[in-house]
Structure 1
Amino acid sequence: MLAAAFVTILLLILLINITHRKKRLPGPWNLPIIGYLHKLDSAAPYLTLTKLAQKYGPVYGVKLGLMNVAVIADPTILKKILSKDETTERPPLYMINTAFGGKGTFQKFCFRNFTLIVGLVCASVWKDQRKFVSNFFKVSGVSRVSPNRKIVEELIKKHVDEFIQVIKSRSDFIPLDPSELR
């Protein structure tokens, strides 16, 4: 009796997957509940995703567990997508949301050689931060034609280069707290 109910539920899920397949991004066949997780290489999932990009193109969909993930394997397309206001709101993920104090979202990006998982701040928070920084630059006299612009750019470049060197010098994979760099 229980086995028959389980088989019926699985068949129903498969039927729904088949009928809704036309509305989805191209991508591999996904099993119910686990999606494509069973075929991902646990040691190097980016290699599996790279092979899928070669087969399905620079933008494809894959289901990881119960989450539908759009994989973008072309940096040019990714830049276009992230530059639009329509893509600033993303579905929340508990872990990232907690890390950002209830104001975070999660997005996964896949490039040719690596997979990037990004925790992003919600659009409203990001817009407030952008407004604050923009106003700060206006008040401090740093504009596109300001003589101070070159000094600020050099200072920012210096700090970014130092940060990159710290990241490159680390051989461990322990998360880096930027506040420790002061």
Structure 2
Amino acid sequence: MRSAAAEVVRLLTVRGETVAVAESLTGGLVAAEITAVPGASKAFRGSVTAYATELKHGLLGVDLTLLAERGAVDPQVAAQMAAGVREALGADWGIATTGVAGPEPQDGQPVGTVYVAVDGPPEALPGTPRDGKVVPLRLNGDRAEIRMESVRSVLALLLRELAGEQTGNERAQDTEQNGGF
């Protein structure tokens, strides 16, 4: 069975698209998972590990007021991180992780509170506007388990987005080839 990272690299390569990663609580683990796949250089642009809150603003363009009012563990922060890394690194897709791996709560959020996000091309399918997607997670386990589940979750989110688009495109091509029948 192919890993989620391998499938992400395969789909991106087939499509001629790229991904960039913004990480906080995962500290580079998402990038490591992707770059462990042979041929990842065809699809992986790079990553930003913005562990410190001020780097989320300075490097990824996350709104300073949002960070001041809600802290770094927030769904909008995750969405802005994904969009920011996509733009900063010139990728078709951006994915992001932010959350609390423990051992202590952060920004008023309990351990295990995680947000993963994906931001993609302006249009997922021709004529369909695209907004970034954020998935809230409430994870159990120790620090290492929370971080690894965050990696799996953000890759699964990107994979769902990529597979969903491919399925839609395949249906459109099939309709064209069969004269709309």
Q: Same fold (TM over 0.5)?
A: no
Bin of the TM-score, shorter chain as denominator length:
under 0.3
Higher helix share: 1
Higher strand share: 2
Structure with higher RCO (Cα < 8 A, 6+ apart): 2
Give the structure with higher Rg (CA): 1
Q: TM-score scaled by structure 1? A: 0.25
